[in-house]
Chain A
Amino acid sequence: MCLAIPGKVAEIQQKEGVRTGRVLFGGIAREACLDFVPEAHEGDYVMVHVGFAISVVDKEEAERTYALLESMGVLDEELGLGAEGTRSS
């Protein structure tokens, strides 16, 4: 539940006063709020927890963590992919 998943910030925009990023987790894109990481730029890697980036991390470390979480099979749950009624926008 307190896992955070590393993803790459592909695009940043302001949406109704919220700094929002399209974040890529492997092949999956999700919107995440970037208000807690004002230092994050497009191309940076962030740790995302329930749709909110909580830290900026190194690219190599992020990719390694992602591969491991994928092999542990926890990504679907953390990204809400199996969840019925989940919004993908």
Chain B
Amino acid sequence: MKYMDEYRDAKIARGLAGEIRRRSTRPWVLMEICGGQTHTLMRYGIDALLGNSVELVHGPGCPVCVTPLEMIDRANALARRPGVTLVSYGDMLRVPGSETDLFHIKAEGGDVRIVYSPTDAVELAREEPERQVVFFAIGFETTAPAHAMAVLQTERLGLKNFSLLVSHVLVPPAIRMLLQSPRNRVQGFIAPGHVCTVVGVREYEELAREFHVPIVVGGFEPVDLLDAIRMLVCQLEEGRAEVENSYARSVQYAGNRAAQAAVERVFEVADRKWRGVGEIGASGLRLKEQYAAFDAERVFGLGDVRAEEPSECIAAEVLLGHKKPTDCAAFGTRCTPEKPLGAPMVSTEGACAAYHQYKRHLVTL
């Protein structure tokens, strides 16, 4: 059954790629926002399959990558404190802060635990009431409802030893910043399917109208992405700038209202710094005042932490689609997934790491 599906998918993929090449009269510049989508595009060589009918540039949608250096430094500082258990998703452990990463702190005896879900962290706080459990809550709109529920559940259980180190960012403000840049080259966007599963597509309609740019909500499989690219190319060739949904099996227009309600109860919109990009106004979430007791930055008085990115890293240029990872002099030499200089190399979903993994620096496309 699986092989039949793969055969069917390969046939559909070739058909879609053929249609994109036929319809495209110039190399349209398209951006996928989500790091998971970047990974699929590279893994299946979709960029190569499309030749010069489209140019794919890769957006800032890897939450691990854009978590600011200062926030990693705060997590590291917490993990070193006696009495604190720092709980994180596994992919944050090897992300370097200014001096070190959580993996090394754990090896040195820091109490760092990896979980699959924030509910595991709440459970840990209940089982170990003598420890202060801090959950490193990073992510985009997809993950925010889970973190909101962790706070609500902790409140319901009456636990006093659980807090969040919040580093939440939002996709639409980043797209807006990109479109407002005089250097913007992006002509169409693939919107992230699971972010839209939660928040719906209304905000994307505003962006499409305001900037006259087509946006197609895309899934994560090769066929999903090719279909989204096909829809974008059709819109561009026809002079349309609409929001279309190529991932309707998961995304509804209004999104998931129950998930949105949980987020609205616990979080509010705030300015956030993005690693490699800098500060973007109203581009993230922070805990509301009434949930200040769950805010690790306040509970532990982490205050003002400053950190500098390595000057050689061109992360901002890559994350905003101005340059490709392979345009960087340090790519694959002084900057590798094992020893990353900056944001897009620190996680497998970052554009530089994806290029490196699939050896784009060794292949002439």
A residues adjacent to B (C-beta < 8 A): 1-4, 16-18, 30-31, 33, 35-38, 47, 49-52, 54-55, 57-58, 61, 64-65, 67-68, 71-72, 77, 79-80, 82-87
B128 at the interface (CB under 8 A from A): no
A61 to B120, CA, bound (A): 29
A55-B250, A58-B249 known; A49 vs B194 contact (CB < 8 Å)? yes
**B194 A4 Cβ-Cβ under 8 A:** yes
Least distance between B76 CB and chain A CB atoms (Å): 18
A77 to B64, CA, bound (A): 14
**B43 A72 Cβ-Cβ under 8 A:** yes
* Contact sample, A vs B, 16 pairs, CB 8 Å cutoff: A1-B63, A2-B35, A2-B140, A4-B194, A4-B197, A35-B258, A36-B258, A37-B256, A50-B117, A51-B146, A54-B145, A55-B251, A67-B2, A80-B114, A82-B90, A85-B115
Query: From B118, which residue of chain A is reached at the shortest CB distance?
Result: A50
**B118 A51 Cβ-Cβ under 8 A:** yes
- A68, A72, A86: which contacts B115 (Cβ < 8 A)? A86
A36-B262, A67-B5, A77-B90 known; A83 vs B116 contact (CB < 8 Å)? yes
A49-B194, A77-B90, A77-B91 known; A2 vs B221 contact (CB < 8 Å)? no
A17 to B34, CA, bound (A): 33
A51 to B146, CA, bound (A): 8
Least distance between B259 CB and chain A CB atoms (Å): 4
A49 cross-chain contacts in B, Cβ below 8 A: 142-143, 146, 194
Q: Give chain B interface residues in 146-191, CB to chain A under 8 Å.
A: 146, 149, 153, 156-157
A54 cross-chain contacts in B, Cβ below 8 A: 142, 145, 194, 197-198, 256, 259
A2 cross-chain contacts in B, Cβ below 8 A: 34-36, 61, 63, 139-140, 142-143, 192, 194-195
B113 at the interface (CB under 8 A from A): yes
B89 at the interface (CB under 8 A from A): yes
A56 to B61, CA, bound (A): 24
**A1 B139 Cβ-Cβ under 8 A:** yes
A72 to B348, CA, bound (A): 13
**A51 B142 Cβ-Cβ under 8 A:** no
Q: Give chain B interface residues in 306-332, CB to chain A under 8 Å.
A: none
A31 to B120, CA, bound (A): 10
A3 to B114, CA, bound (A): 18
**A1 B35 Cβ-Cβ under 8 A:** yes
Q: Give chain B interface residues in 75-118, CB to chain A under 8 Å.
A: 89-91, 113-118
B119 at the interface (CB under 8 A from A): yes
B118 cross-chain contacts in A, Cβ below 8 A: 50-51
Q: Give chain B interface residues in 210-257, CB to chain A under 8 Å.
A: 220-221, 249-252, 256
A52 cross-chain contacts in B, Cβ below 8 A: 117, 145-146, 149, 259
**B149 A47 Cβ-Cβ under 8 A:** no
Question: Looking at A31, A49, A52, A68, which has the most chain B CB atoms within 10 Å of its CB?
Answer: A52
B73 at the interface (CB under 8 A from A): no
**A1 B258 Cβ-Cβ under 8 A:** no
B132 at the interface (CB under 8 A from A): no
**B119 A33 Cβ-Cβ under 8 A:** yes
A68 to B1, CA, bound (A): 12
Least distance between A68 CB and chain B CB atoms (Å): 5
Least distance between B149 CB and chain A CB atoms (Å): 6
**A87 B149 Cβ-Cβ under 8 A:** no
- A1, A33, A35, A79: which contacts B347 (Cβ < 8 A)? A1
B289 at the interface (CB under 8 A from A): no
**A50 B143 Cβ-Cβ under 8 A:** yes
**A65 B63 Cβ-Cβ under 8 A:** no
